[in-house]
Amino acid sequence: MITRTTEKLFREAIFLSKWSGSTAFRWDSENHRIRLSTTPWSKFYSNFNFVLILAFEIFLIYRLIESIAIPTAGRPLSEIVTLCYFICIYAIPTTLYHCTTKHSTDIPLFVNGFLEYFENFKESYMIPSQYRKKNGCETVLRIFFNTAYLITLQNVIVFAIAPHRFFMLTSLIWDSKDAIPFIMKVVFLAVHLQIWMSAWSHALLYTTVIYSYIYPTLWILKELNRRTRNPGTFDVLRSQVGFSNTYRGIQILQNMFNYCFQHEYFSYQKILVSAVAVFGFYGAVRIHGSRAVLMTMIGVMFSLHLSVMFRQLGKFYDISTEILNSWKGSSSKKILKSCRPLRVQISDYYCVQKTTILVLMGVIINAAITLLLSS
């Protein structure tokens, strides 16, 4: 269920997205729900933030074209790969903005729906001794939040030491660190900090929403299995009425989950996050200095994110199929026919299975090795 730690992380993610302007979502502390702010200021701030990140993305693409098309630039392959790495990094918040804009009303409905569903399930079926039991996503989410803060701090230090680097906005005007006035350093640092915090807050918000839904839902599905041992719920959950009502409720949530994320989130994030992981592992080996540490941290973090998320998503089909098989012969055939196995869709082409992450990790490792050997 949604523990106090998870709710705290929810508030923290929405707080960051509010002050960075990445989304117009707000946390209602009184009702413990998420809501969409429709004030003109929140819309303007969110759109301004998107334009700022898009402009920085265009700047990075310009630097990449310059490095490839102009021989006098004289940049080695390692710096070109670093630019590709940054382009993929900052393409993530732009695609998230598209998802947020298209589903600006659907995402709050989905989040509030599963929050209310989990609360009702807790009151109706959970044994009181299980109320404070952690669902497993708290540790993973805290790792992501702490890593985001550490990487942002390191970016600030890198900017303070070498603000004239070719992937910093200051390099458009000044070629030397000593030539940059102190006031302009502060101004450009504020711009970069806005970009960094906006990108991280947007990614952390989506990660928090998805993980907070996945882990409690899988736990509920395991409790619905008639063969489960040492259940954390009352036996009434495993009656025909309890099973039918609970499973159909999860079906509705899963359909809404797919509607919100299968096209605008998973289809883009799978490609971009994999590319960032590949470039991150390349930088860990070929790049020297503080940038290598940064790329290593992001490469490991993004690989961990893909591994955990797709491994958990792949369990939906397997666990739901096992549940339905356990109810054969013990429930009405009409009820079982209406309860289909749950699937997490990626676009319109395929659904996540337990082997998806193995294939994805194989692609990332092969691409990273190929890139290293080619340089």
DSSP 233: B
- Distances, alpha carbon 226 to alpha carbons 216, 236, 253, 266, 329, in Å: 18, 11, 22, 32, 12
- The more confident residue out of 177 and 204 is 204
pLDDT averaged over the chain?
A: 87
Between the ranges 104-113, 294-303, 322-331, where is the mean pLDDT highest?
104-113
Model pLDDT for residues 60-73, shown as the tens digit of each residue: 999 888 888 876 55
- Per-residue model confidence (pLDDT) at position 101: 92
Contacts of 192 by beta carbon, 8 Å cutoff, 6+ apart: 155, 159, 168, 169
Distance (Å, rounded) from C-alpha 93 to C-alpha 145?
16
**Beta strand pairing status for 350-351 and 33-36?**
unpaired
- Per-residue model confidence (pLDDT) at position 332: 66
Instruction: Judge whether residue 335 has pLDDT over 80.
Output: no
Contacts of 206 by beta carbon, 8 Å cutoff, 6+ apart: 96, 99, 265
Nearest to 17 by CA among 197, 210, 265, 207: 197
- Per-residue model confidence (pLDDT) at position 71: 63
Model pLDDT for residues 231-269, shown as the tens digit of each residue: 888 889 888 888 888 999 999 999 999 999 998 899 888
The letter for the amino acid at 150 is L
- The more confident residue out of 374 and 62 is 62
- The more confident residue out of 1 and 108 is 108
| 109-118, 122-131, 173-182, 214-223: least confidently modelled range | 173-182
Q: What is the pTM of this model?
A: 0.91
CB atoms within 10 A of CB 326: 17
- The more confident residue out of 288 and 235 is 235
